[in-house]
Amino acid sequence: MKIKVINPNTTASITQKIAEAAIAVANSGTEIIACNPDKGPVSIEGHYDEALSVVGILEEIKKGEAAGVDGYVIACFGDPGLLAARELAKGPVLGIAEAAMHAASLIATGFSIVTTLSRTRVIAQHLVANYGMTHFCRKIRAIDLPVLELEDENSNARKTILAECRQALIEDGAGAIVLGCGGMADLSAQLSQELGVPVIDGVSVAVKFVEALVSLGLNTSKKGDLAYPIAKPYTGMLYAFAFENRE
Amino acid sequence: MKIKVINPNTTASITQKIAEAAIAVANSGTEIIACNPDKGPVSIEGHYDEALSVVGILEEIKKGEAAGVDGYVIACFGDPGLLAARELAKGPVLGIAEAAMHAASLIATGFSIVTTLSRTRVIAQHLVANYGMTHFCRKIRAIDLPVLELEDENSNARKTILAECRQALIEDGAGAIVLGCGGMADLSAQLSQELGVPVIDGVSVAVKFVEALVSLGLNTSKKGDLAYPIAKPYTGMLYAFAFENRE
Amino acid sequence: MKIKVINPNTTASITQKIAEAAIAVANSGTEIIACNPDKGPVSIEGHYDEALSVVGILEEIKKGEAAGVDGYVIACFGDPGLLAARELAKGPVLGIAEAAMHAASLIATGFSIVTTLSRTRVIAQHLVANYGMTHFCRKIRAIDLPVLELEDENSNARKTILAECRQALIEDGAGAIVLGCGGMADLSAQLSQELGVPVIDGVSVAVKFVEALVSLGLNTSKKGDLAYPIAKPYTGMLYAFAFENRE
Amino acid sequence: MKIKVINPNTTASITQKIAEAAIAVANSGTEIIACNPDKGPVSIEGHYDEALSVVGILEEIKKGEAAGVDGYVIACFGDPGLLAARELAKGPVLGIAEAAMHAASLIATGFSIVTTLSRTRVIAQHLVANYGMTHFCRKIRAIDLPVLELEDENSNARKTILAECRQALIEDGAGAIVLGCGGMADLSAQLSQELGVPVIDGVSVAVKFVEALVSLGLNTSKKGDLAYPIAKPYTGMLYAFAFENRE
Amino acid sequence: MKIKVINPNTTASITQKIAEAAIAVANSGTEIIACNPDKGPVSIEGHYDEALSVVGILEEIKKGEAAGVDGYVIACFGDPGLLAARELAKGPVLGIAEAAMHAASLIATGFSIVTTLSRTRVIAQHLVANYGMTHFCRKIRAIDLPVLELEDENSNARKTILAECRQALIEDGAGAIVLGCGGMADLSAQLSQELGVPVIDGVSVAVKFVEALVSLGLNTSKKGDLAYPIAKPYTGMLYAFAFENRE
Amino acid sequence: MKIKVINPNTTASITQKIAEAAIAVANSGTEIIACNPDKGPVSIEGHYDEALSVVGILEEIKKGEAAGVDGYVIACFGDPGLLAARELAKGPVLGIAEAAMHAASLIATGFSIVTTLSRTRVIAQHLVANYGMTHFCRKIRAIDLPVLELEDENSNARKTILAECRQALIEDGAGAIVLGCGGMADLSAQLSQELGVPVIDGVSVAVKFVEALVSLGLNTSKKGDLAYPIAKPYTGMLYAFAFENRE
């Protein structure tokens, strides 16, 4: 089984970290194809970055379909372009926020999210509502550090994240922590050990859930709004995105 | 006051129709700048088309900011890229679905939406939830005709829309109709007259509400998630979308 | 176009303040008719005051209809009698809480309300739910000063409001402030300047939105529960409120 | 114990019917004081009638307080003026829609409401939401007969109600029926027998629940928004409604 | 009328306390039959204890039906087995959490719950959602003392409860307190006096509401999911629970 | 990895069918332990059956813990005793309704449930709300055949299910079907092929999701309400259920 894990930003070190997290948990028969688009923002820290990252994501999905990929993970906590990607893909497509929240709701009656910037908390809040997680999500917390600071080995980011998680356990009544950034994919094991509760990285959960769905033959429904896009011309710089009839 | 009305698809005849609807209702002191991107889908009929239309929309907003535009209307009923556009703009940015639903909730206790394709009803359903309109929206109906058929003078589209509106009034308990497509912008007056209830075209409402907000000095909040994008590199084909610090 | 702005309490100085706010923003072709009932409470500070203020409001609407008024604003933050008023009016009728919250949701993803008394926060809370603003309203705050103290030039009310707004921005994650009292109609501009975020006065927004709706021909739906009242006898002191068949 | 049952309209025959329903179920130690205001609409069939009926209701509550009444029932299915009445009263005040829906949710997992006019379904719908009954209320149905037709012995009203109840049981998955009009207070026993499910009249339930609350010493909370009204002048025709400080 | 009040745990002193609370408020014509199962946990402090207490509860209901009991109270704040019990019973069955919350919502616009253990707050939270009390419940507070400590006369439990109630009134905007444990049934009167707001014990409310429903002939609906259980074999230790056809 | 799949009823043929469905999808390194309790109802068709099945489920979980089981599936569509089971287990515990709905929401924007009896639709409806699936679940449909009829090879059950699924696709706007009974575990593949949309059997999904969680080290949170039960005496027939301190 081939699973393509798409880091929606264009920073290779994050792609590398996400790839490692994915490979570490994949079944032996699963081939992980990690990538990032060659176009778009170096990090995603708002609605604008997110909206533009979708171009590259969809291009990677399109390439994936041509290459016979069985399922996809979109590895940014805002789950950019999720439904558009599902239109394009035959197999399942999961976002890491979606996967992490679903998993959290299966092992705890309440979770808190710890994300990077305060300004992206609204994005997480909208996802919580869209995914039906309102009753499960106790609080969305931000450490107010830029995404790329997670890549700096000299940064205090890990300490700050640990401290914020501890606050969540004390103040929010949370039984689990959801890490709110693809760039935190390497932290869950250690944090879980230190905190004594499940700390959930969406990348690894999404890979396992895609494996599960693919092995069950549960592909994206092609009835209704997730059917393949309607064939039509695209103009200008985006002409190559015109979808051609399939099947 | 300058208001830019962006038709997110690349079909000029729809842009023309939308421009006429906007100009017809604008105050004498308002300059309407109607446009469509030079890149992207010729019509928007799903999540995929919508996601890719955002590239062109954001480009038009960026140009608008450079040209001193005071407010914007995104004239596609899925309100694509709305929050991303708000990050980029100083003034208010309204989607036509948003504007139409808000207006409907001010003059009726329940409304039904009549849109084009069944597959886009899910998009409308998500907007209804996001805008807090769940208690107001009675039903989302589709006539199952492609968007571009509205441009065909020989089509039965108008008759079909009228019939569907009538059903909504009889079956749904709706007091008003929201037209669920930018391409229906020329139909509201006549339908309203025939049906005896308010039939709401989002283009005209959005123009008037943007005028209202601009005249009150109510611009998009630049505190929080709608603050200007964080400056950072963009790579590849999208390099020109890198936001440069402002103010 | 004639817009009648009804201050539901009987304190002339508040009517005057509201009139000034309305006139300041109205289009040149709009005639603002500001008034207050000649019967009812001198201020509205609870469910009881609100319920009784409706008598005077409906009387003013009735007079307005006879005088050819095109639209109405009910200028008390509890929006008393809103749906009853809509039954009586041909044109649109907006409450200032309703108008302010709708406007806030168009320019920010979250707002906080700053009102006068703690006991009226429940009224605002109910409106937030009724208008579908649950996801947008971050918090309802009270300064715990009586409404009429806003009329006292020697009062600390302005300072207290400013301080409460600052707290909202720091603690609530709000991107905009909604002023929760008609008697604060003169404060929004200065507060907005001091705080650097949109501070929204419902009176001015309601006037502009009514102008917008009237100019679009969007009147109150007369199909369903907002149809003109059913003609029937009224007895006793209220006999003159009997509605006579219309149209 | 004294319980005052207020018919908010001014039609004596309905007051009589409601009085009989109340007396039939009251404990031997309970004195039922049934009344209707001497001012206001002869029937309540919309937001407008309802809003104006509140004047008379509050007057009756005020007289009741002076007479040492222990609790109140507002016997119109729209529960007009409920929170305002609670401000004024020391003891509990229940609306019949509220009482009926609460009772229904205790003996069935789903109920349907059968009311008189289609236009009042929106009023019932708002109450369902306000009382937290959204998950319990399966459907709101109307027989489209005027309230006063229930008073006409030659009317087909009873047959029509029975037929509508049957439809509710077949189509809605309802386990109980809530009668949506005070004027149906005499029908519940017979309908219940014919249909084989609980058919709930709010008047009788409200009387029993008020008895229960009073006997437990559970009065309206005087902390917060239901505290006695703030003393202040009232002007004009309503001067006598000025609340004077109490306790 | 016979009302059976079932203490779901097996601690006789709590049964005694609950019996006294029930008898103290029952009508003279009401026979209170207080009991606890002879099998199950000595206290209920989590989902597990609750789930297993249901065996004993259902056995007591079954015995009650044979003995002609008219209605039931399940006297544990988690309302264990409520819908299962309703299947088995002809008359009404009320949980004390359910009864207390319903009563609170009739006399205050907001209440807080004070329960024993933090870990049971999630149980209360789920009940709040299931009963439609989300808009009424301001906060769920725990004193973090075991249930059985309420039985220890030397404990500080009462003081701790009083202090927590005071905090609720100050911080939560609550107008009433709901006591979140059957073992607090003897505290409501004194707390209410000390706090000056309604403090609601579910046992006494449930008894009065069951009396009310029984006297009105409002039994559990036997149409739909609360119909008598379908007759079928039960195996092993539970063979005696097989339901035999009735009526 | 050991996964215990518990059929909560005591009918061995259903256990066999569920075992086959589980084994068919399990990884090669996964040992499936399928079982049913030796006590309780032969089928689960209501709240009562469900509540009593929990005794056997918890006993099986307890035995599983002693035997080093890594994760559990509760294979009845009502997910009986789910949170109680989680208290008892170290590893993850999933219900089949829960697993199926989560999976459906990952591959379609809307699904319908097809279950056996009308009376159990309310159980499914409550689960939909509890799991946050309100926006995803389009309709809950029943074929009105007893659970055990699915075991009868001569029954028309399969045809009836297929027909109901077809109706769901035509009328509900569903993109996927969730099979609402553990006894339908053998039908999903064929139905999916005939209908051309994902048809989801909760047993197989639950097994794969438990595998995923276990392999990620994501166990049930032992902080908060899902912590191991508090040690205490149990009396009578249930004395053996007393939880003894662990870890």
pLDDT tens digits along A117-163? 999 999 999 999 999 999 999 999 999 988 888 888 888 889 999 99
Does A229 touch chain E if contact means CB atoms closer than 8 Å? no
Does E156 touch chain C if contact means CB atoms closer than 8 Å? no
Task: Determine how β-strand D93-95 pairs with β-strand D111-115.
Answer: unpaired
Angle at F78 between CA F85 and CA E243, to 5 degrees: 100
State the CB neighbour count (10 A cutoff) for residue C63: 13
Helix (H) or strand (E) segment spanning residue B4: strand B2-6
Per residue in E181-225, pLDDT tens? 988 989 999 999 999 999 999 999 999 999 999 999 999 999 999
Q: Which chain C residues touch A121 with a CB distance below 8 Å?
A: 173
Average pLDDT of chain F is: 96
Distance CA B211, CA C125 (A): 29
Look at A173 and E121 and tell me if their CB atoms are within 8 Å: yes
List all residues 6 or more positions away from A1 whose beta carbon is below 8 Å from its beta carbon: A27, A29, A30, A31, A70, A71, A211, A214, A215
- pLDDT at residue D247, rounded to an integer: 53
Q: Which chain F residues touch B118 with a CB distance below 8 Å?
A: 173
Region F214-230 average pLDDT:
97
Q: Which chain C residues touch D122 with a CB distance below 8 Å?
A: 224-225
Does D49 touch chain C if contact means CB atoms closer than 8 Å? yes
Look at E173 and C121 and tell me if their CB atoms are within 8 Å: yes
Instruction: Report whether C95 contacts B209 (CB < 8 A).
Output: no
Look at E229 and F49 and tell me if their CB atoms are within 8 Å: yes
- Region of poorest pLDDT, from B27-41, B231-245, F105-119: B231-245
Task: Count, in order, helices (H) and strands (E) of chain A.
Answer: 8, 10
Does F190 touch chain D if contact means CB atoms closer than 8 Å? no
Q: Which chain D residues touch C225 with a CB distance below 8 Å?
A: 46-47, 119-123
- C window 99-118, beta carbon within 8 A of E: 118
Does C212 touch chain B if contact means CB atoms closer than 8 Å? yes
Q: Which chain C residues touch B130 with a CB distance below 8 Å?
A: 135
Q: In terms of DSSP H, where are the helices of chain F?
A: 12-25, 47-66, 82-88, 96-107, 121-130, 157-171, 188-195, 202-215
Region D71-87 average pLDDT:
98
Per residue in F70-91, pLDDT tens? 999 999 999 999 999 999 999 9
Domains of chain F (ranges; CATH) run 2-95+204-241 (3.40.50.12500), 97-201 (3.40.50.12500)
Tell me the three state secondary structure of residue A191.
helix
How would residue E147 be classed by pLDDT, with cut points 50, 70 and 90? confident
Does C70 touch chain B if contact means CB atoms closer than 8 Å? no
Look at B129 and F109 and tell me if their CB atoms are within 8 Å: no
If we measure between CA atoms, which residue out of C93, C237, C243 comes closest to residue D58? C237
Neighbours of chain B (3+ CB pairs under 8 A): A, C, D, F
Task: Read off the tokens for C64.
Answer: 């307005």
Q: Which chain C residues touch A122 with a CB distance below 8 Å?
A: 109-110, 173
Region F32-40 average pLDDT:
97
Q: Which chain C residues touch D37 with a CB distance below 8 Å?
A: 236
Q: Which chain B residues touch C21 with a CB distance below 8 Å?
A: none
Per residue in C89-105, pLDDT tens? 999 999 999 999 999 99
Does F173 touch chain B if contact means CB atoms closer than 8 Å? yes
- Tokens 């109490």 locate to D246
Residue of F nearest to E84 (CA): F48
Q: In terms of DSSP H, where are the helices of chain B?
A: 12-25, 47-66, 82-88, 96-107, 121-130, 157-171, 188-195, 202-215
Look at D107 and E92 and tell me if their CB atoms are within 8 Å: yes
Does E132 touch chain A if contact means CB atoms closer than 8 Å? no
Per residue in A37-87, pLDDT tens? 999 999 999 999 999 999 999 999 999 999 999 999 999 999 999 999 999
User: Is the pLDDT assigned to residue E125 strictly greater than 70?
Assistant: yes
List all residues 6 or more positions away from B32 whose beta carbon is below 8 Å from its beta carbon: B3, B5, B19, B22, B23, B26, B207
Backbone angles phi, psi at C61, to 5 degrees: -65, -45
- Region of poorest pLDDT, from D144-148, E138-142, E187-191, F116-120: D144-148
Region F126-138 average pLDDT:
98
Q: What are the percentages of helix, strand and coil residues in chain F, rounded to 5?
A: 45, 15, 35
Does D240 touch chain C if contact means CB atoms closer than 8 Å? no
Residue of F nearest to B129 (CA): F135
Work out the minimum CA distance from D197 to partner chain F, whole angstroms. 15
Average pLDDT of chain D is: 96
Q: Which chain F residues touch D110 with a CB distance below 8 Å?
A: 122
If we measure between CA atoms, which residue out of D18, D3, D4 comes closest to residue D147? D18
Instruction: Report whether C162 contacts C191 (CB < 8 A).
Output: yes
Q: Which chain D residues touch E106 with a CB distance below 8 Å?
A: 92, 94, 98, 102, 209, 213
Look at C105 and B132 and tell me if their CB atoms are within 8 Å: yes
Across the B/D interface, how many CB contacts are shorter than 8 Å?
Answer: 6
Average pLDDT of chain C is: 96
How would residue E152 be classed by pLDDT, with cut points 50, 70 and 90? confident
Work out the minimum CA distance from B130 to partner chain F, whole angstroms. 12
Q: Which chain C residues touch D224 with a CB distance below 8 Å?
A: 118-119, 122
Does A220 touch chain F if contact means CB atoms closer than 8 Å? yes
Residue of C nearest to B176 (CA): C221
User: Is the pLDDT assigned to residue B247 strictly greater than 70?
Assistant: no
Distance CA F197, CA F169 (A): 9
Distance CA C1, CA C71 (A): 8
State the CB neighbour count (10 A cutoff) for residue C65: 17
Q: Which chain D residues touch C56 with a CB distance below 8 Å?
A: 236, 238
- pLDDT at residue B246, rounded to an integer: 65
Does C40 touch chain D if contact means CB atoms closer than 8 Å? yes
Amino acid at E135: H
Distance CA E184, CA E7 (A): 13
Distance CA A241, CA A238 (A): 6
How would residue A95 be classed by pLDDT, with cut points 50, 70 and 90? very high
Instruction: Closest CB to F129: pick one of D110, D135, D173.
Output: D135
Does B122 touch chain A if contact means CB atoms closer than 8 Å? yes
List all residues 6 or more positions away from E226 whose beta carbon is below 8 Å from its beta carbon: D107, D108, D109, D175, E83, E86, E87, E220, F47
Region C189-216 average pLDDT:
97
- Tokens 């309704």 locate to F97
Residue of F nearest to D170 (CA): F118
- Region of poorest pLDDT, from A183-187, B200-204, C196-200, E161-165: A183-187
Residue of A nearest to F172 (CA): A224
Work out the minimum CA distance from A85 to partner chain B, whole angstroms. 7
Q: Which chain A residues touch E122 with a CB distance below 8 Å?
A: 109-110, 173
Instruction: Report whether D164 contacts D172 (CB < 8 A).
Output: no
User: Is the pLDDT assigned to residue C154 strictly greater than 90?
Assistant: no
- pLDDT at residue E149, rounded to an integer: 85
Work out the minimum CA distance from A143 to partner chain C, whole angstroms. 14
Work out the minimum CA distance from F223 to partner chain A, whole angstroms. 5
Look at A119 and B10 and tell me if their CB atoms are within 8 Å: no
Per residue in E20-46, pLDDT tens? 999 999 999 999 999 999 999 999 999
- pLDDT at residue E165, rounded to an integer: 97
If we measure between CA atoms, which residue out of D87, D31, D18 comes closest to residue D54? D87
Task: Read off the tokens for B58.
Answer: 């954001």
Instruction: Report whether C180 contacts C115 (CB < 8 A).
Output: yes
Residue of A nearest to C109 (CA): A122
Residue of A nearest to C170 (CA): A118
Tell me the three state secondary structure of residue A232.
coil
Average pLDDT of chain A is: 96
Interhelix angle C96-107/C121-130, rounded to 10 degrees, is 60
- pLDDT at residue F120, rounded to an integer: 94
How would residue C153 be classed by pLDDT, with cut points 50, 70 and 90? confident
Per residue in C226-246, pLDDT tens? 999 999 999 999 999 999 866
- pLDDT at residue E247, rounded to an integer: 53
Instruction: Report whether D77 contacts D206 (CB < 8 A).
Output: no
Per residue in B130-159, pLDDT tens? 999 999 999 999 999 888 888 888 888 899
Look at C173 and A121 and tell me if their CB atoms are within 8 Å: yes
What's the maximum distance between 2 C-alpha atoms anywhere in chain A? Answer: 55
Q: Which chain E residues touch C129 with a CB distance below 8 Å?
A: 135
Work out the minimum CA distance from C57 to partner chain B, whole angstroms. 18
Does F122 touch chain A if contact means CB atoms closer than 8 Å? no
Region C54-80 average pLDDT:
98
Could you give the ipTM of this predicted complex?
A: 0.97
